[in-house]
A and B are shown apart, each in its own frame.
Chain A
């Protein structure tokens, strides 16, 4: 493999990992709120975060492009006041991956929290535990496997992201190109050997992520 391809693989894994890490605290907080609390506007928030799961990724990418572009409300503000650009940089890749994998993680983490028997948390309180201790010693350990499984799937989803990324980050070799984008480009240009090498790598990565999440789910049932 050429050094450019190694860089490509490294960049894809790194940015996917970073996006999973970034969504983790927010996703955890939101999924706990969805599983355990009633609040006004809950169903609207639920619907909005599920949208990227069901909408065409390209459409989500277009929304992001319009929001984050230099003339968009968010991107414009960042460019004018902080001289900070997102679109067509590696940051755009990160944003696209976060937005696309966030709903998947919340979906899994929420179910994991819901499966924890609330009676256990209540009894922990009668034994003198405050909210933080109950969460750290009862809720989180009992939901941990589902949460980790959700993180692995979110990571896998990020590895394979294509539609939103190409809209908001383009496909700039060495800067915003990811595995999926590079495979597409190689096929377009007729570079089949490159496409197959990259295909092999993505199969290995996807296999590892899915297999380890299934292993976690199985060991939870045991």
Chain B
């Protein structure tokens, strides 16, 4: 897929939504804090809102071009939209909701046939029910199925899991993954939840106050956040101010607190000495003792300040001359008998220390 958003400008309060981007998907997550213009952007793509200036093109089909006064009406766009409140029609049965946008079966793609969609989302038993009798997770799947049955060319999902609790969320994510793999519809997925992001996204666009803060493949954005704002949004555990003290041999030495760190990143901080360092907790390895040579460039002695369970893992807060966070498995934690006050060695490979100019 290619979704082209050119010169998009839409005044919102208190900022102007400005996007100029080309998205390739197949699943593009639009990530950002609430009120950063994410839903407005989906509305523009669906044609439910008009911007004073915008060119929107899906593959070779121009949907909106304000410079030529072109605006394809929403009903002809073939864009499936599942809004945050789902917008199931309360006066219709589940079946009538599902059938509302479905194209006649004749000549239709069997992939998007009623039976197949209903089967993939496992909503067979719900079809005869009233919409008002469904639970949150059931409503969610019905809304997804209704959008799919219109055989859309693009799917817009606006925080589809925001209203569900953690337990339900983890039950719905597999359905979303199944939709992605089974129907292969390019998808714009709005969320501010890191778990959904990691489970589903191929590409991500970070939106802050209506502006694109960063755009790129998921791993790229996660490993190399372009700014402090993006790193903060992605909740990268260790984010500290530092100062470059030495450059050379394709490595950069940075002083942080009372420690010295070696990073493999040079390009983004070529013109400045003042930087932020980003270290993801899962990239930190803990070691009892400090013997023997190793390949990791950074070996930092540190004291354990606290241990706290985080899902199946343990979050370890260390003092290595600066505050460092590590994530280790429960088994590792038990084998090493980690407890507060212990002295350990933290290993971090140089490419895992990302630098952002200050």
Chain A residues at the B interface, C-beta cutoff of 8 Å? 117, 119-120, 122-130, 137-138, 141-142
Contact = CB atoms under 8 A, between A and B. Distances in A.
Interface in B1-46: 46
Nearest to B48: A122
Contact of A126 (B77, B89, B90): B77
A120 B80 CA distance: 14
A125 B90 contact: no
Interface of B: 46, 48, 73-81, 83, 85, 87, 89-91, 100-101, 103, 146-147, 150
A127 B100 contact: yes
Given A123-B81, A124-B100, A130 B75 contact: yes
A119 B85 contact: yes
A142 B147 CA distance: 21
Given A122-B48, A123-B81, A129 B87 contact: no
10 contacts: A119-B87, A120-B89, A122-B48, A125-B48, A125-B74, A125-B75, A126-B77, A127-B150, A128-B103, A142-B90
B91 A141 contact: yes
Contacts, number: 53
Given A120-B89, A123-B81, A128-B75, 15 more contacts: A122-B81, A122-B87, A124-B100, A125-B48, A125-B74, A126-B46, A126-B80, A126-B81, A126-B101, A126-B150, A127-B147, A128-B76, A128-B101, A129-B100, A138-B89
Contacts of A124: 89, 100
Nearest to A124: B100
Q: Which of A120, A127, A129, A130 has the most CB of B within 10 A?
A: A127
Contacts of A120: 87, 89
Nearest to B101: A127
Given A122-B48, A123-B81, A123-B83, A129 B101 contact: yes
Contact of A128 (B48, B89, B90, B150): B150
A129 to B, nearest CB: 6
Contacts of A130: 75
Contacts of B85: 119
Contact of B87 (A123, A128, A137, A141): A123
A99 to B, nearest CB: 33
A126 B153 CA distance: 12
Nearest to B84: A119
A127 B78 CA distance: 7
A119 B91 contact: no
A130 B73 CA distance: 9
A38 to B, nearest CB: 14
A119 B342 CA distance: 57
A128 B46 CA distance: 12
B142 to A, nearest CB: 13
Contacts of B103: 128
A121 to B, nearest CB: 9
A119 B143 CA distance: 13
Contact of B74 (A126, A137, A138, A141): A126
Q: Which of B46, B74, B91 has the most CB of A within 10 A?
A: B74
A188 B338 CA distance: 102
- A-B pairs, top 3 by smallest CB distance, nearest first, are A127-B101, A125-B74, A123-B87
Given A119-B83, A123-B81, A124-B100, A129 B89 contact: no
Nearest to B77: A126
A119 to B, nearest CB: 5
A141 B100 CA distance: 15
Contacts of B81: 122-123, 126
Contacts of A129: 75, 100-101
Nearest to A138: B89
Contacts of B100: 124, 127, 129, 137
A154 to B, nearest CB: 24
B333 to A, nearest CB: 47
Contacts of B89: 120, 124, 138
B132 to A, nearest CB: 11
Contacts of B46: 122, 126
Nearest to A119: B87
Contacts of A141: 91
A127 B147 CA distance: 7
A130 B74 CA distance: 9
A24 B87 CA distance: 29
Contacts of A137: 100
A124 B101 CA distance: 8
A215 B77 CA distance: 42
Contacts of A142: 90-91
Q: Which of A128, A129, A130, A138 has the most CB of B within 10 A?
A: A128
Contacts of A117: 87
A122 B74 contact: yes
A41 to B, nearest CB: 23
A137 B90 CA distance: 12
Contact of B146 (A119, A125, A127, A138): A127
Nearest to A141: B91
Nearest to B149: A127
